[in-house]
């Protein structure tokens, strides 16, 4: 317990330190008195910026009250008196520290009733220009920010952007405020009368104004000042007027106040309600902090060169023709600007994807090239292997050729004898000649087969019947089987086995298997040397099995026999089966070795049927 008390004290003092000024901060109160309704565009811009600047720069919380006095529509003295009493009652219990008068009528109202409604409260005013203030003496705790309205800078900008302009059409209203502004503008324009012609449209009824503006010649420009009342005395809301005017006008419309930007004017050097709101708030802050300026009234230029991007597009005005300090609002962002990061992401993904695709294509080409190369190598190696097989076949080939040659010789001798007789038997001679031709063909066939076996040929697929190929290979090796004293038999599937294969290479595989089987049985008694070749169809595959009655393959070597250079033979190279596997795999097939239950090895080849 004794430890807890100092701990709580530390926490409490820490909390106070962290909370800082907000603990001691007291709420300050400011009231804004608008001559009109605060929702009017210019006033609402001023109000928003005023509140934002005030809150952003104040340590203390500030409560802002607003009064829309609507004095141009309800300007009777009775209303004003009632309003005075109402406000007095309303704010009697609130300690207002600054009352702000916005625009001339509000200034007048506070001049008359301020002391009564907010006794002892300092007043800040804004929205008046120097002329409107005249030389009126101000009470001691009154401060103001004056508006500097300028019209010539907009005209300079117009003449810069549209150098061919010959006529300026000035549109203005007829209210007291309109008149003041209009007079000021006309005064500034006098200096330009030698350069362009001026037409002032200020006393027309609104309805006849629009058709006139729609028929203006292309070398004219419209300047809009203010329009609270038309020539027929009808009240208007200026920002609605400017919208309708710029829609109807056949030429661009320029203005002087930023509240009309976005409502149809192209732009100009615009008096900014936004800046004026900020300047007024800064002055209020000084008064609140007790640091009121020694000079009660200041005049801050608050014009900004601004343009509406959409109007620029409408009238074909390029960005390059604008003054360098111009600000462009309402820019319609391009897809890139609106979705910058998303687009960058998509673009990045596309680039990465394109990179991947080209990498894959490159790899695919490389693989194809490697495949072609490996096939070429395989073909070369296979050919070498065929030469070595041919070496083994030499004896049987010689035997195969010798047989027909011997028969030819015997037949030739017989024919000689017949020809020596006085009446040779022509029919017999014909028979003998036919025999000689047949034997010659047999010998030629042996040579042709050998040639085709040793031919240098690229890997080439064609449609063949596996049964036929097996039969042919068996024939080819029949001589070798005789010389090796091996019984070679075959069992061929009853149905054709169509496959797509390289005839020479596939024959070489079967040949290798049969010769290997013969090798394996070399040490067996002659009567037991048997090789059986069998073709079958299993589902969608053609199967060839070459079985022998040799010692078989030790089970642990069943896979190893296909490895390159594996051999158990004294003169062996150990490449026959590895080439066989490569060839079969290049045909999309499988090759494997097994042992028969009855003894001896069996080699299987399985190839897809077409
Ligand atoms: P090589 O015939 O030059 O030895 P192969 O690749 O054709 O090369 O054969 C590899 C090895 O596989 C042979 O040395 C042999 O040990 C074994 N082999 C092949 N066929 C058979 C078979 N039918 N019976 C037993 N062993 C075999």
Query: Domains in the chain, ordered, with CATH?
Result: 24-146 (3.40.50.2300), 152-273+302-336 (3.40.50.2300), 372-608 (3.30.565.10)
Expressed in angstroms and rounded, the spacing between residue 504 Cα and the centre of ligand 1 is 21
The better pLDDT of the pair 450, 142 is held by: 142
- Mutating to test ligand 1, I would choose from 386, 392, 514, 516 the residue with most ligand atoms within 8 A of its C-beta, which is 516
Between the CA of residue 420 and those of 71, 163, 417, 434, what are the distances in Å? Answer: 155, 129, 5, 20
Does ligand 1 come within 6 angstroms of the Cβ of 517?
A: yes
Does ligand 1 come within 6 angstroms of the Cβ of 73?
A: no
CA pair distance 508, 582, nearest whole angstrom: 12
Closest by CA to 446, choosing from 384, 395, 512, is: 395
Does ligand 1 come within 6 angstroms of the Cβ of 604?
A: no
Does ligand 1 come within 6 angstroms of the Cβ of 569?
A: yes
The residue whose CA is least distant from atom 7 of ligand 1 is 576
Taking the CA of residue 517 as reference, the ligand 1 atom at the shortest distance is 23
Does ligand 1 come within 6 angstroms of the Cβ of 601?
A: yes
Expressed in angstroms and rounded, the spacing between residue 515 Cα and the centre of ligand 1 is 9
Expressed in angstroms and rounded, the spacing between residue 567 Cα and the centre of ligand 1 is 6
- Mutating to test ligand 1, I would choose from 570, 577, 579, 591 the residue with most ligand atoms within 8 A of its C-beta, which is 577
Does ligand 1 come within 6 angstroms of the Cβ of 145?
A: no
CA pair distance 16, 10, nearest whole angstrom: 10
Expressed in angstroms and rounded, the spacing between residue 294 Cα and the centre of ligand 1 is 115
Does ligand 1 come within 6 angstroms of the Cβ of 521?
A: no
Does ligand 1 come within 6 angstroms of the Cβ of 297?
A: no
What's the mean per-residue pLDDT of the chain?
90
CA pair distance 414, 516, nearest whole angstrom: 43
Expressed in angstroms and rounded, the spacing between residue 607 Cα and the centre of ligand 1 is 22
Does ligand 1 come within 6 angstroms of the Cβ of 577?
A: yes
135-162: per-residue pLDDT in tens?
Answer: 888 999 999 999 888 999 999 999 999 9
Q: Is pLDDT above 80 for 19?
A: no
- Token pair in block for residue 91: 């704010």
The better pLDDT of the pair 575, 83 is held by: 83
Does ligand 1 come within 6 angstroms of the Cβ of 516?
A: yes
CA pair distance 265, 310, nearest whole angstrom: 10
Q: Is pLDDT above 80 for 302?
A: no
- Mutating to test ligand 1, I would choose from 564, 567, 593 the residue with most ligand atoms within 8 A of its C-beta, which is 567
Closest by CA to 371, choosing from 575, 589, 586, is: 586
Residue partners of 45: CB distance under 8 A and separation at least 6:
258, 259, 273, 274, 277
Expressed in angstroms and rounded, the spacing between residue 568 Cα and the centre of ligand 1 is 7
Does ligand 1 come within 6 angstroms of the Cβ of 548?
A: yes
Closest by CA to 230, choosing from 220, 221, 222, 240, is: 240
Residue partners of 482: CB distance under 8 A and separation at least 6:
396, 399
CA pair distance 239, 300, nearest whole angstrom: 25
Percent of the chain with pLDDT over 90: 68
CA pair distance 238, 172, nearest whole angstrom: 10
Residue 384's pLDDT band, with cuts at 50, 70 and 90, is confident
Q: Is pLDDT above 90 for 335?
A: no
Closest by CA to 506, choosing from 605, 384, 608, is: 605
Q: What is the model's pTM?
A: 0.49
Expressed in angstroms and rounded, the spacing between residue 93 Cα and the centre of ligand 1 is 115
Q: Answer whether 34's CB lies under 8 Å from 102's CB.
A: yes
CA pair distance 326, 318, nearest whole angstrom: 12
Q: Is pLDDT above 60 for 52?
A: yes
539-583: per-residue pLDDT in tens?
Answer: 999 999 999 999 999 988 989 999 988 999 888 888 899 999 989
* Mean pLDDT of the 298-323 span: 93
β-pairing verdict for 498-501 and 267-271: unpaired
Does ligand 1 come within 6 angstroms of the Cβ of 573?
A: yes
- Mutating to test ligand 1, I would choose from 533, 548, 561, 574 the residue with most ligand atoms within 8 A of its C-beta, which is 561
Q: Is pLDDT above 60 for 9?
A: no
Closest by CA to 379, choosing from 301, 288, 306, 461, is: 461
Q: Answer whether 249's CB lies under 8 Å from 192's CB.
A: no
Q: DSSP string covering 127-162, please?
A: EEEHHHHTT----TTEEEEEE----HHHHHHHHHH-
């Amino acid at each position: 317990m004794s430890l807890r008390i100092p701990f709580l004290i530390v926490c409490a003092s820490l909390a106070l330190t962290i909370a800082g000024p907000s603990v001691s901060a007291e709420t300050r109160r400011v009231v804004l008195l608008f001559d009109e309704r605060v929702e009017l565009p210019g006033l609402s811009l001023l109000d928003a910026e005023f509140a934002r600047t005030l809150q952003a720069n104040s340590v203390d919380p500030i409560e802002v009250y607003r009064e829309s006095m609507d004095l141009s529509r309800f300007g009777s003295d009775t209303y004003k008196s009632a309003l005075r009493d109402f406000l007095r009652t309303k704010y009697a219990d609130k300690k207002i520290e600054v009352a702000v008068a916005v625009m001339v009528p509000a200034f007048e109202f506070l001049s008359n009733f301020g002391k009564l409604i907010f006794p002892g409260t300092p007043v800040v005013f804004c929205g008046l220009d120097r002329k409107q203030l005249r030389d009126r003496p101000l009470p001691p705790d009154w401060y103001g920010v004056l508006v500097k309205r300028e019209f010539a800078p907009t005209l300079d900008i117009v003449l810069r952007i549209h150098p061919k302009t010959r006529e300026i059409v000035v549109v203005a209203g007829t209210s007291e405020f309109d008149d003041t502004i209009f007079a000021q503008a006309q005064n500034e324009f006098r200096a330009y009368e030698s350069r362009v012609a001026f037409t002032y449209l200020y006393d027309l009824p609104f309805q006849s104004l629009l058709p006139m503006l729609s028929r203006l010649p292309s070398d004219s420009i419209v300047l809009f000042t203010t329009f609270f009342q038309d020539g027929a005395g009808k009240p208007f809301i200026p920002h609605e007027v400017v919208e309708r005017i710029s829609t109807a006008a056949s030429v661009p419309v320029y203005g002087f106040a930023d509240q009309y930007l976005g409502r149809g004017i192209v732009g100009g050097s615009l008096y900014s309600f936004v800046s004026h709101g900020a300047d007024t708030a800064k002055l209020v802050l000084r008064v609140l902090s007790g640091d009121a300026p020694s000079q009660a009234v200041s005049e801050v230029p608050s014009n900004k060169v601004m343009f509406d991007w959409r109007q620029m597009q409408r009238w074909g005005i390029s960005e390059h023709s604008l003054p360098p300090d111009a600000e462009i609002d309402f820019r319609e962002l391009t897809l890139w600007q609106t979705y910058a990061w998303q687009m960058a992401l998509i673009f990045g993904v596309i680039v990465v994807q394109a990179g991947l695709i080209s990498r894959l294509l490159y790899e695919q080409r490389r693989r194809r090239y490697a495949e072609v190369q490996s096939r070429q190598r395989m073909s070369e190696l296979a050919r070498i292997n065929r030469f070595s097989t041919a070496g083994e076949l030499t004896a049987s080939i010689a035997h195969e050729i010798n047989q027909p040659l011997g028969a030819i010789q015997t037949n030739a001798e017989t024919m000689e004898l017949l020809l020596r007789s006085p009446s040779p038997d022509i029919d017999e001679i014909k028979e003998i000649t036919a025999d000689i031709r047949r034997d010659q063909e047999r010998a030629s066939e042996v040579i042709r087969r050998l040639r085709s076996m040793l031919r240098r040929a690229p890997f080439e697929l064609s449609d063949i019947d596996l049964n036929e190929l097996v039969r042919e290979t068996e024939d080819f090796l029949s001589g070798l089987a005789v010389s090796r004293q091996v019984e070679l038999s075959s069992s061929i599937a009853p149905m054709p086995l169509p496959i797509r294969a390289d005839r020479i290479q596939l024959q070489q595989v079967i040949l290798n298997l049969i010769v290997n089987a013969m090798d394996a049985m070399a040490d067996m008694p002659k009567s037991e040397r048997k090789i059986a070749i069998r073709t079958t169809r299993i589902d969608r595959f053609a199967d060839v099995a070459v079985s022998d009655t040799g010692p078989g393959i030790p089970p642990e070597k069943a896979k190893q026999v296909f490895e390159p250079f594996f051999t158990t033979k004294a003169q062996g190279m150990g490449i026959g089966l590895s080439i066989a596997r490569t060839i079969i795999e290049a045909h999309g097939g499988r090759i494997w070795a097994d042992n028969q239950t009855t003894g001896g090895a069996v080699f299987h080849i399985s190839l897809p049927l077409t």
